[in-house]
Structure 1
């Protein structure tokens, strides 16, 4: 297990994080350039080695109800990886994290494109916007009701 000081040194390798001292000798590391309200990447890193990293958007880590992973027993490479992935998750829009670009066709061989963009899901006929939707399901329902199917 890494010591508190070793964890601090590793996390300080990420220049985009800002260390903030809090109570009981604990520290937090914030990512002020986050695209989201969430800026706290490392939470309550304690001198006993306990601490948490925000990983709610990451698939490879079991998180608690707050989206945090306990890093008490992490080795150096594991800590670097999760901190890097946490920063990336706060640096990417939903469209960048999970891009969608689909072509839909009707029986008359007209095609529309369904594209995930930052503000939702948009349907285009060439460069013309045909509709904007809050969810994939809403966009797909619209296309199906209009007689289109995904190809």
Structure 2
């Protein structure tokens, strides 16, 4: 298990996060450039090593009802991956997430094209006529597309 100091060093390696001390010597780390009211990425990091990372709902993580994952037993790689995911999720622009119907075309630098389509309460990604992947939220689908190097057309 990583110590409080080790977790703190990992978290503070992300220059886009701002540390704020709260009660009982706990720390929160905010992403001030969030496109949402939610800015806390790391919540209640405690000297005993306990704390939470915001990962939202409908993505690749099993979060609680608040969209948080406990990091008490997390590895360095787990913490880095979750923080990157959280920052990307909070960076998703409102205009990217505002289109509730229809289809969106996404392209990568190599000229590849994927379509994001809202169908039956799922956000489906298609390569041509083939289903590439499905997500429960548009935010998770957009995050996947961005991580794969695609940008909205």
Category of TM-score, reference length = shorter chain: 0.5 to 0.7
Structure 1 residue 62: Cα displacement: 1.0
Structure 1 vs Structure 2 CA RMSD: 2.5
Structure 2 unpaired stretches of 5+? 104-117, 120-128, 130-153
Larger radius of gyration: 1
Instruction: Indicate the SS of the match to 2:87.
Output: helix
What do the CA deviations read for 1:40-78 (whole angstroms, capped 9, x no partner)?
000000000000000114622111111100010001111
Alignment of structure 1 residues 39-78 onto 2, 5 Å: 39-57=39-57, 59-78=59-78
* Offset at residue 93 of structure 1 (A): 3.4
Q: Aligned to 1:14, what secondary structure does the other structure show?
A: coil
Find the counterpart in structure 2 of residue 23 from structure 1: 23
Question: What is the Cα deviation at residue 118 of structure 1?
Answer: 3.3
* Aligned equivalents of 1:21, 1:118: Cα separation in 2: 34
Question: What TM-score do you get using the length of structure 2 for normalisation?
Answer: 0.63
Q: How far apart are the structure 2 equivalents of 1:94 and 1:120?
A: 12
Normalised TM-score (structure 1):
0.64
Question: Counterparts in 2 of 1:110-121, with a 5 A limit?
Answer: 118-121=98-101
Cα 1:51–1:23 change in 2 (3 A) is same
In structure 1, stretches of 5+ residues that fail to align are 97-116, 124-135, 138-150
Number of residue pairs the alignment of both structures matches: 108
- State the shift of 1:95 in Å: 6.7
